[in-house]
Chains A and B, each alone.
Chain A
Amino acid sequence: MPRTRARRSSSIKIQHMAPDSQDVLNDQDLQTNLNANWINFKGAWVIHFVIIGLVKVFYTLILKSYGLNTAELNWTLTNLTYTVGSYIMFHQVKGTPFEFNLGAYDKLTMWEQLDNGDQYTPAKKFLMGMPIALFLCITHFTNYSVRMSIFNGACCLLCVIPKLELSHRLRVSIPYLSEYEN
């Protein structure tokens, strides 16, 4: 019996997705991608600072109630929340929440949908700058503590590496952990 798909190999597989076919591109052009275009509004940039501020206040309140409020812990938790949150939002979830383009974006993460996949656009520069700036500030807020710096650096890289041009449309499949999507 002929197989319709190649057998999944048991090793880790890293490869770029095939380019979109013409009818997928046509459907992407049907309508503005409302899932991604709001990121170009200036208000969407300000909200990053607001969210970081709110998260910081939240951790201050929590940590104070346990008597653990130190600048190191507080800023590190804030950084962790911001980076993991933005990783999930930009690099984990695929597709669009609404049906506007007949599923033409179903296989792409939000970062890949941004500005139709163009690189080095103003929005992408801002989003790339944000975690780096946060990390550089935080190492200084945390009194250059080495342990915290290593942890914060790792968090920062979690957000920076998937944003590289090299990682565009790159899919990593780890057996039993993440399936390779064709």
Chain B
Amino acid sequence: MSTTTIVIPESLNNIHIYVLDLYRRFAGLPGASIVIGYIKASYKDDPLRSVFELALLLFAVKYFLSSKKQANKPTLAKLSEKEVDDLCQEWEPEPLAFPLGELEKWQLADIPVTQGSVGPHACVDARDVLNLASLDFLNFNSNAVIKAAAKQTIMKSGVGACGPPNFYGTQDYHVRAEEDLAEFLGAERAMVYGQDFNTNTSVLPSFVKRGDLCIVDSGVGVSTQNALKMSRCRVQWFNHNDMDHLEEILQELQPGLAEEKPITRRFIVSEGLFVNFGDYPDLHKLVELKEKYRYRLFLDESYSIGVLGKTGRGLPELFGIPRSSIEITTGSMALAFASSGGFCVGESDMIQHQRISSLAFVFSASLPPYCARVTSTALHLITNGDLTSEAESKIVASLNTKSESLSELFSSDRSLQPFVLVKSIPLSPVIHMRLSPKYREMLQLPPVYGGPQSAVAQAWSRGLEAEYFLDETYNLENFLLSKIVALCKSRDVLITRSKRILHHEVVSMVPELLVCVTDGVSVEELAIAFHVVKESILAVTQQVNNHTAFRRLEDEL
């Protein structure tokens, strides 16, 4: 055995003595004995726990003493009261609308001024004209029964509903209109909205939120485009009515979506009768795809209700598909029903959800009661009083015959073919005609205007107001079409053209001539109108038959 001696180094020994000295001084302070007693009691021969507690305490003290750290720079500037006053003093109101450019002034003069009531025959600019510019397809605006119903309701309940639907704005007429719409369309429930343009922008965002997914036909109207923007969802566009492209997108997205949690709400969005094209999607394929890939279907039937199908029940009737296959159907009552406002039909739960979460329903004024009554009356007129009737509706059949005959005249005319192209299907009461690709090439016009990445879209995203207002070629092509419209008007036929604003839409577009068939115009009158429109088109297009002649139009602006 050997003994070992631990030699304490001189320096360490000094520290030891120094610490002991400090302790002795601290113990001498008044009250120190209590602190020392407490520490001794809580130490309990457990150094690890004590160190942990001490570390935690020190951390808390450090956290408490740290100064505030901002995550994001605030987007709102902090101004002193004086600065606010100065800014208010300096402020000069800007005009609500950007002033009309010199090159656009013709558009204002182009608007027809009507006198008296507007039916199939109207007094425009002091001339009696045949009105082929009206969307009152079934001629209910001039219908005595409708007029009497509206008058009677106004006498009884006035012209407004005086509040949002949930807040004194719902009257018996609204409830009846909802019941009638649901019964007519074969849906569980329906609800009416005060304004048709705001129906989509309210219905879609109440179901689709940030992070959800919509696969959208690139032909949808501006109302649906706004709805998508407002919902903040992810949007995938498929080529207009191209079901193969749609399936390709659905297949591509499938593996990623299957893993997402919580499950995203997914919709396929399309229209019954496209407002911008006058054609309809292959509903069989749409329903098949949405069921295969587990999506929901949102269909805007504004133009197809009262027009398509044997009894005017819209696209599903034409395809023989039950309404229940379409999760959300919206539509306008301002077109075929000659009323006002919009509607949404579908399952009860879907409708009930909207009653407290759809912005236009909760916060906007309700539909005027007489408009609701007119809708009910229109539905009864279409179905001859029996809303569930399967018998062919005479009034719808008559409209369809007229639409088909006029469409046939335009699309089969050989002399028109080099200049215009009929885009709409024969059943569409609005005949969409655009300048033919060959003729557009001759005038050196671009294939489409606007759309993603276009100069207008970029100016819009940068907020350059002066720039996004005018695409000169677009303006000039519209002017060319307006010359055709004006020539028709001078020969007593009122037609119209598409009036779309480039920077309001995210999809690309081509200006179109629109000839609208209504039931109040006879087949003979349509034949006369056809000749007038044809001659006008030929006269203008033969006058403007090359690029120089087209550019010369600028002088006329």
Identify the A interface with B (CB < 8 A): 1-5, 8, 20, 23-27, 29, 99, 102-104, 106, 116-121, 125, 128-129, 132-133, 135-136, 139-140, 144, 146, 149, 153, 156, 160, 165, 168, 179, 181
Contact = CB atoms under 8 A, between A and B. Distances in A.
Given A4-B253, A103-B210, A144 B63 contact: no
Contacts of A103: 209-211, 232
Interface string B519-553: 00000000000000000000000000000000000
B255 interface: yes
B44 interface: yes
A144 B255 contact: no
B209 A139 contact: no
B42 A140 contact: yes
Contacts of B44: 144
B252 A2 contact: yes
Contact of B256 (A3, A29, A120, A132): A3
Contacts of A129: 60, 63-64
A152 B56 CA distance: 13
Given A119-B68, A125-B64, A139-B49, A106 B211 contact: yes
B256 A118 contact: no
B4 interface: no
A116 B68 contact: no
28 contacts: A1-B252, A5-B259, A20-B72, A23-B232, A25-B72, A106-B210, A106-B211, A116-B71, A117-B71, A117-B72, A118-B71, A120-B63, A120-B69, A121-B68, A125-B64, A128-B60, A129-B60, A132-B59, A136-B56, A136-B57, A139-B53, A144-B42, A144-B44, A144-B49, A156-B56, A160-B56, A179-B261, A181-B261
Nearest to B63: A128
Contact of A3 (B67, B71, B75, B255): B255
Given A8-B259, A118-B70, A119-B71, A132 B210 contact: no
A106 to B, nearest CB: 6
A5 B256 contact: yes
A29 B59 CA distance: 33
A29 B76 CA distance: 9
A19 B534 CA distance: 59
Interface in B48-107: 49, 52-53, 56-57, 59-60, 63-64, 66-72, 75-76
User: Size class of B's contact patch?
Assistant: 20 to 34
Given A25-B75, A102-B209, 13 more contacts: A1-B251, A1-B252, A4-B252, A27-B232, A99-B357, A121-B68, A129-B63, A129-B64, A132-B56, A132-B57, A146-B46, A179-B259, A181-B261
Nearest to A104: B210
A120 B211 contact: no
Contacts of A153: 52
A148 B259 CA distance: 42
Nearest to B49: A149
Interface in B255-272: 255-256, 259, 261
What 9 A-B pairs have minimum CB-CB distances, sorted nearest first? A117-B71, A103-B210, A4-B256, A5-B256, A119-B69, A120-B66, A103-B209, A132-B60, A144-B44
B264 to A, nearest CB: 11
B74 to A, nearest CB: 8
Contacts of A5: 255-256, 259
Given A1-B251, A103-B209, A104-B210, A120 B56 contact: no
Contacts of B66: 119-120
Nearest to B43: A144
Nearest to B66: A120
A1 B250 CA distance: 11
Contacts of B251: 1
